Amino acid sequence: MSNLKTQIEAVTAQIEVAAKQAKRSANDITLLAVSKTKPESSIIDAFNAGQRCFGENYIQEAEQKILSLKANTILSNDIQWHFIGPIQSNKTKKIAELFDWVQSVDRLKIAKRLNEQRPEALAPLNICLQVNISEEIQKAGVSIDEVFELASQISTMSSLKLRGLMAIPANTDDETLLQKQFNKLKQVFEELKSQHPSVDTLSMGMSQDMQLAINNGSTMVRIGTAIFGKRN
Ligand SMILES: *Cc1c(COP(=O)(O)O)cnc(C)c1O
């Protein structure tokens, strides 16, 4: 058994335990494997272990891997690609062409460009707004006050499909603070869901805080290190 398969099974088991503790179904939580900086061969190993959703942060790196894997008929077109990194406006065209989801939309200009540049032959691009829940000034993401207006604007764009929210919490071991931020995001998510029926995704939780995130209602955890090991 490949090491990666063991890691994916271990993470899946952790998700199941956390879901059970939270009295939720593990089926309601999607595992996104964050493959940034990792080689194509690792993605193929993870695919062979049953993993289908992958997250990438850097467009140049992602483009190479995605085009090469799309040309690989064994993988057919079964992989779902999520862009989760910071977005510069000159990169939106490639993102709109290559990805199925974009989780890091944080301003109207980016949403408009993705909407215009999404090829017509493809299904609408699934969108999560990245929210700055820690309210650190240097952090990416829209503030909670701005979420609803931006979401309403995106919901009118025909080549985009509003799916939900994504956040990276404060970089801290303080569980009380994390808990507070996750819980706040969950409240915003519930309100957004009541306004937009297409909203079903709360993307929060990474290798370090997956359990706490699931306990607070996460529907998608983004896991890099716990699957692929440390990044250089
Ligand atoms: C790198 C990254 C992750 C994965 O983090 P790990 O701690 O390695 O699990 C998740 N989300 C985003 C947005 C990232 O950039």
The model's pLDDT over 96-136, given as tens digits with 9 standing for 90+, comes to: 999 999 999 999 999 999 999 999 999 999 999 999 998 77
Is residue 223 pLDDT above 70, yes or no? yes
Average pLDDT (182-210) is 97
pTM: 0.97
Q: Residues lining ligand 1, judged by CB closer than 6 Å?
A: 34, 36, 57, 84, 168, 206-208, 222-226
With tokens 């467009």, the residue in question is 59
Q: What is the pLDDT of residues 134-184, one digit of tens each?
A: 877 777 899 999 999 999 999 999 999 999 999 998 888 899 999 999 999
Distance 121 CA to ligand 1 centre (A): 30
Q: Nearest CA to 217 among 176, 186, 193?
A: 186
φ and ψ of 158, to 5 deg: -75, -20
pLDDT at 135: 75
Among 165, 172, 220, 222, say which to mutate for ligand 1: greatest number of ligand atoms within 8 Å of CB: 222
User: Model confidence over 68-91: pLDDT tens digits?
Assistant: 998 887 776 789 999 999 999 999
pLDDT for residue 93: 98
Say what the pLDDT of residue 1 is.
Answer: 52
E-state strands within 45-147: 53-56, 80-83, 101-105, 125-131
